[in-house]
Each structure stands twice: as structure tokens, then as C-alpha cells.
Structure 1
Amino acid sequence: MVERGGEPVKRAVPAVTRAVAILRHLGRADAPVGVNAMARDLGLVPSTCLHILRVLADEGLVQMDPETRRYSIGVGILPIARTAIQRNAFIPMVQPHLDSLSQDFGATVLATQVTEAGQMVVVAISQVEQRFRLQVDLGSRFPALISATGRCYAAFGTLGEAELRNGFARLQWDNPPRFDAWLEEVAEVRRQGYAVDSGAYMSGVTVVAVPFLNSAGRMTRSLVAIGITERMAAQGIDRLAGAMIAARDELDTLAVGGQG
């Protein structure tokens, strides 16, 4: 990164960008992936994809099945991930609150963190044992503007209307809202301090999100509750949101105290 006119300017490093894309692709895959299929999915030249995979394999970050010649994520990624988790003081602080909310409301409750790539990554999660529940994995990534968290990000972010419109157009919903209606919901989030997505992102599923804001009033993290719509409605959306806000406020107080 260099500075131009006092502002930092990012320089693209294609090889690094492609290596990261490959690691994320393998991280999402349910089974080992062949070079040609991976190159096609990522828009890479197969020979380039193979070269990067070989380097990543040498470093232990990916592994290849010698019989099928297919690749999967390697165990060498674990020490890196473990260090990131251990050094993130927010995770041990938030986990008891997630557990409590999940037990009290019978929902999957998680914490997300905003990344520079315009995504939300799940950094902590709590799920209750139920016959039907929604599976979300630690480390899952979502577009920053999607669902209830996206409304929070739009309400407490830096994007202008044109940027929001462009980002919104790329989102995938089960039941897409109209952009103008979505903007009205974003404005409501600014007033009430939390967001609700009732079946727009996923049919039959309600998502409630409460943002964490930095000193500049920008969203950095969120608490998110996910559950079957009928079950969430029976628990009371306002009651759930109030409990999530209370947990967020307590965590903010702990964070400030820890800094002192």
C-alpha cells in the first residue's frame, strides 16, 4: 500500500489475490476439487491455478489426494486460524452472551465482524439442539449488504446511495425486496438500532441483527439471531432485539473498561 495525496492507495498483487481466492474456494467446498473445475469457477487459467495450488501444497495450506488429483484445504491453515481466534479478545467476551441468547430464545446466535473486503465473517456462534435448526459455520462469509446485517451495514457505513444500489444489485435473495423499500428499512434501522429480515434472504427464516459501532459511529461487528420465522415470532422479535441490544451494550462497556 502506498500513499497518494495523503490517502492510502492499494496496489493489486494478482498472485496473492488468486491464492486467497483458491483458499476460500476450497474452504467452502464440500468435497475435494479438481484443478479444471476450480479454475473454471474462479475464472483462472488452469496452468496458473495449478501453479498456485502446488505452492500452497508445499506450504501445507492445501493438500492433494494422489489418487484423484483433487485438492482440499490443508491442516497447515489451522495454526493460522487458531492464532487469529486466540488474539481476538472479542471472541471469548461475546461467547457467553451468544450462549445465553441462544438458550433463552431457541435460535442460532452468532457474532460477525466486518472485513475490508466488504464481507461479514462469522467469528463466534452458539446453537441449541433442536429437531430443526439452521446450520451456520464458524468462518462463514457473507456479503456485507445482505439480510439484516446488511441493513445495519448500510445504515451505519460509509457507502453512498449509488454504491448501495450497485452492491444491492449483486445480492442474491430468495425473495428480493425493492431497492427503494430496502432503503426505507435501512432508514428505520438508524432510528430503532436493529434490523430484521423476515424471509427476504431465506424463505421461512427470520434474521435479527444488532450492530456494534466504533467511535465514529461506523459498524464494525454485529450480533445476529437466526431462526424459523414462526418460532422467532412466537418468542417476540422486539423482545429478542431488546435482549441483543442489552448484550451489545454490556459488551461495549466491557471493551471500554478493558481499554482502561
Structure 2
Amino acid sequence: MTTDEAKTTTKRQVPAVTRAVAILRFLARSPEPVGVNPMARELDLIPSTCLHILRVLQDEGLVEFDSQTKRYSMGIGILPLARAALQKNSFSTLVQPRLSQLSEDFGVTGIATQLAEPNQMVVVALSHSNMPFRLQVDMGSRFPTLISATGRLFAAFAELDRDRLQERFARLVWDHPPSFEDWLAEVEEARTRGFAVDEGSYISGVTVIAVPVFDARGKMIRSLVAIGISERLAKGDVPKLAKALIAIRDEIQDSQVVMGA
């Protein structure tokens, strides 16, 4: 490899950009506005550096500042960027009508998630059923990668050792948390059969079925999910939903190959 090629392929560190992204992700996860000092401590930043970056982000409309409380929160300027990203996401465009049909056929909420950062999945497509009662899920909602049915799949296909899995598993919040050993058994089952099911563990009374979506290198980067009220799912609906999700996944992947995506 020549010196010029090495320079081209080497990823250069840009600390200011890395810190700005860390701040935006922190604010996105925070349930309420945050002051500079707590934010700096959490992100291991010098407060003055954190403040300078926040002011630039504020000028760009990506964060908002409350002059009375002296706290920062996400700004609405992020919305056009997020909307443009979703509109240009070929996966979201392809999967949306298929999820809508799934919701109509089975009376479930259908979602597609995508790996947004190392430990988070974000909802990039969504369809609701016409049932009088339905689960509230929003576009852009974020979930830990290891939670619920998608989490079992991510654990099954990600290269994470047992200790790392247990460390992250301990931080998950469930309505009815499984034991780590039971969860590992379910992870192995998901790996074997190619889909995962969460029956009331994550959300009481709710069944979640998920299938993995892989990139060209065989890495799981997305999932297709069906969410239904457990009492309303007929006997045999779970395997039927899993089969339908797998069919959607395969059709989407075939379409993306044809499109060169």
C-alpha cells in the first residue's frame, strides 16, 4: 500500500465532531433538559469545551437553550435532517407498504428498526392496525439493541462474548425480566430458528415477533417486528407472523439487490 493510499483509507479523528455527535446523542436519550456541567461530567468533557459546542449547535438550531433554567434540549432543527434521512432510506421506502399490509392482515403494529449507534435501534418504518386499541410506537423511537425480540436476535448474531452480554443485559428494563440464563437459551433458540418471540417479558400482555435483516457482509443491522396484544393473537398466529415477516425480509433484500442498494 502506498503512502497516499494509507492516508486515504485511514480514518482521521475529528474530536470536535465526535464530541458534537456525543452531545446530540446524549440529549436525544435524556428525558428532560440538561445543564452544561452534568452533561460535561457524563460525557467526560471539559465544561468550557462542552459549552462552546452547545452554542454552535444552538446557532444551527440542533439544540435549544432555556435561559431561565440554563438547560439544553434537542432542537427542532434536527427534524428536517431526520425526515430527509428517512425519505432517502431505500429500506424504509420498500418496507413501509408491506408493513401496512401486515397490519391489515393480522391486526398488529408493524415496525422496522435500524441500528443507529452501537447500543440503540431506531424505528425507521411503522404501520398501525385498525383495531380499536393499539400500541403507541412513534417513528424515530429508540430502543436498546438487546431488548425484547429484536434484542434476542441481535445477541444471537452479534459478536459479543458472554461477559459483555451479561453486563448490558443487567441494564435492560423489562415488565417481567427473564433470568440471564433463560434469556441466553432464548437467544440460542432465535439463532436456530431465525426469528425471536417475546411473550409479555418486555411489555406485559404484549407479544413481539422479530426477524433479522442482514447487510451484504452478513451483519444484522435491521429488524422487522410485529407487535400484538397477546390475548388477541389467535393460536398459530405467531408462526404465521414470523413466516410473513421472513417473506417481507427476503422480498426487500431481493429488491435492494436488483436496485443495487
Equivalence for 1:77? 78
Q: Which amino acid aligns with 1:79?
A: P
Instruction: Answer whether contact 2:63 2:76 (CA < 8 A) is retained.
Output: yes
Instruction: Tell me how far 1:218 sits from its aligned partner.
Output: 2.5
Instruction: Answer whether contact 1:35 1:50 (CA < 8 A) is retained.
Output: no
- Sequence identity (%): 55
Distance 1:106 1:162, change over 3 A: same
- Secondary structure of 1:202's aligned partner: coil
**What pairs with 1:19-98 in structure 2 (closer than 5 Å)?**
19-27=20-28, 33=33, 35=35, 39=39, 42=42, 50-65=51-66, 71-98=72-99
Q: What residue ranges of structure 1 are gaps of 5+ in the alignment?
A: none
Instruction: Answer whether contact 1:156 1:217 (CA < 8 A) is retained.
Output: no
Q: What residue ranges of structure 2 are gaps of 5+ in the alignment?
A: 1-5
Equivalence for 1:115? 116
How many correspondences in the alignment?
253
Equivalence for 1:137? 138
Give, in whole Å, the separation in 1 of the partners of 2:48 and 2:235.
54
**Are residues 1:211 and 2:183 paired?**
no
Instruction: Tell me how far 1:237 sits from its aligned partner.
Output: 0.8
Instruction: Answer whether contact 2:22 2:43 (CA < 8 A) is retained.
Output: no
Instruction: Tell me how far 1:203 sits from its aligned partner.
Output: 1.5
Q: Which amino acid aligns with 1:99?
A: S
Query: CA offsets, 1:223-260, max 9 Å, x none?
Result: 01112221235571111111111111111111122229
Distance 1:10 1:186, change over 3 A: farther
**What pairs with 1:75-224 in structure 2 (closer than 5 Å)?**
75-224=76-225
Give, in whole Å, the separation in 2 of the partners of 1:250 and 1:238.
18
Distance 1:160 1:70, change over 3 A: closer
Instruction: Tell me how far 1:204 sits from its aligned partner.
Output: 1.5
Distance 1:236 1:158, change over 3 A: same
Instruction: Answer whether contact 1:119 1:141 (CA < 8 A) is retained.
Output: yes
- Secondary structure of 2:249's aligned partner: helix
Instruction: Answer whether contact 1:197 1:207 (CA < 8 A) is retained.
Output: yes
Give, in whole Å, the separation in 2 of the partners of 1:161 and 1:9.
30
Give the alignment's Cα RMSD to 1 decimal.
3.1
Q: Which amino acid aligns with 1:54?
A: R
Equivalence for 1:244? 245
Alignment TM-score, normalising by the size of structure 1: 0.82
Instruction: Tell me how far 1:19 sits from its aligned partner.
Output: 3.6
Instruction: Answer whether contact 1:105 1:235 (CA < 8 A) is retained.
Output: no
Instruction: Answer whether contact 2:36 2:71 (CA < 8 A) is retained.
Output: no
Q: Which amino acid aligns with 1:35?
A: G
Instruction: Tell me how far 1:47 sits from its aligned partner.
Output: 6.1
